[in-house]
């Protein structure tokens, strides 16, 4: 049960998200169980785990060449890598590691700049590209400014233009409503990230709370990814059971990255994947396509 008296910041979306993760219980199923597979099939490629890197950026304050080190770790673990903001040289260095990378672009006010970013990502050989819609506004309701660059919300018409500009799968990050889920399907995107961008808005609904509703709208037409607050294989399992196809890990890899670089990132992905495998084995989930959502139970209070 949620105990708001213990939460000194009841408005903190990250704490609310953690509380929701911890409110979900998992039943065990043992009869007819087998060693499970965590193989992920995504955009025609196969990976060893549904645990992906989050669309992070500016990790040099964590580790020298932090974004490249993260990519090396993802590649070593045969996991999907994501990249957020960064210059062209950095993305070229990231993709040169061999990591299969998804590039997420901010919603810049200048759409021509977005198109150029998409073209450059294509030349770098990324596996998919997308836009981060939830950075359009600042907390005061005005247009956001990120590192000196002005942002703008994007219309459905603009999203359709971005989708049509590339042969790559186009992904929308920052979907946290059924309404936006319907719209991104109309735009023709090939994936969404259910996310509140690490608490960009107070009292934001936890991604896993709304995930089943969004998954019903999407109806398996495109992949659904989830991020925000994922710290363990159990968290990953809960997200997969509620409708996600894969899950991003962000801040949980920071300390391993700081201490051991790419090796630390690889080890953290493998550790979380082993935790996921353990839960799958004890719930008769033989692979990622056979995780029964009815294994999830809800504590009272939500």
| One-character DSSP codes across 4-29 | GGG-S-TT-HHHHHHHHHHHEEE--B
Q: How far apart are CA 235 and CA 36, in angstroms?
A: 17
The pLDDT value given to residue 245: 98
Q: What is the pLDDT along the chain (302 residues), one digit of tens a residue?
A: 444 456 679 999 999 999 999 999 999 999 999 999 999 999 999 999 999 999 999 999 999 999 999 999 999 999 999 999 999 999 999 999 999 999 999 999 999 999 999 999 999 999 999 999 998 999 999 999 999 999 999 999 999 999 999 999 999 999 999 999 999 999 999 999 999 999 999 999 999 999 999 999 999 999 999 999 999 999 999 999 999 999 999 999 999 999 999 999 999 999 999 999 999 999 999 999 999 999 999 998 77
The pLDDT value given to residue 20: 97
The pLDDT value given to residue 8: 76
The pLDDT value given to residue 6: 61
pTM of the model: 0.96
Based on the number of CB atoms within 10 Å of its own CB, is 12 exposed (0-12), middle (13-18) or buried (19 or more)?
Answer: middle
Pairing of the two strands 296-298 and 24-26? antiparallel
Based on the number of CB atoms within 10 Å of its own CB, is 300 exposed (0-12), middle (13-18) or buried (19 or more)?
Answer: exposed
The pLDDT value given to residue 4: 47
CATH class of 12-20+42-298: alpha beta
The pLDDT value given to residue 300: 80
């Amino acid at each position: 049960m949620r105990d708001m008296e213990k939460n000194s910041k009841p408005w903190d979306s990250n704490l609310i998200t953690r509380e929701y993760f911890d409110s979900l219980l998992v039943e065990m199923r043992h009869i007819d169980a087998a060693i499970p597979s965590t193989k992920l099939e995504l955009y025609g490629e196969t990976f060893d785990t549904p645990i992906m890197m989050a669309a992070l950026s500016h990790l040099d304050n964590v580790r020298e060449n932090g974004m490249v080190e993260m990519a090396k770790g993802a590649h070593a673990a045969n996991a999907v890598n994501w990249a957020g903001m960064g210059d062209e040289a950095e993305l070229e260095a990231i993709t040169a590691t061999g990591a299969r990378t998804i590039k997420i672009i901010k919603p810049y006010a200048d759409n021509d700049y977005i198109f150029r970013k998409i073209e450059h990502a294509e030349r770098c050989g990324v596996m998919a590209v997308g836009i981060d819609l939830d950075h359009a506004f600042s907390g005061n309701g005005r247009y956001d400014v990120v590192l000196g660059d002005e942002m703008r919300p994007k219309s459905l018409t603009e999203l359709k233009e971005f989708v049509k500009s590339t042969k790559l799968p186009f992904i929308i990050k920052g979907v946290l409503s059924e309404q936006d889920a319907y719209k991104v399907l109309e735009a023709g995107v090939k994936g969404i990230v259910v996310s509140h961008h690490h608490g960009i808005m107070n009292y934001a609904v936890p991604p896993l709370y709304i995930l089943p509703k969004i998954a019903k709208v999407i109806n398996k037409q495109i992949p659904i990814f989830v991020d925000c607050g994922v710290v363990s294989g159990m968290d990953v399992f809960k997200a997969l059971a509620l409708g996600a196809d894969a899950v991003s890990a962000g801040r949980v890899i920071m300390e391993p990255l700081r201490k051991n670089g790419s090796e630390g990132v690889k080890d953290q992905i493998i550790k979380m994947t082993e935790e996921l495998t353990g839960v799958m084995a004890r719930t008769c989930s033989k692979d990622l396509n056979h995780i029964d959502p009815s294994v999830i139970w809800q504590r009272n209070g939500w």
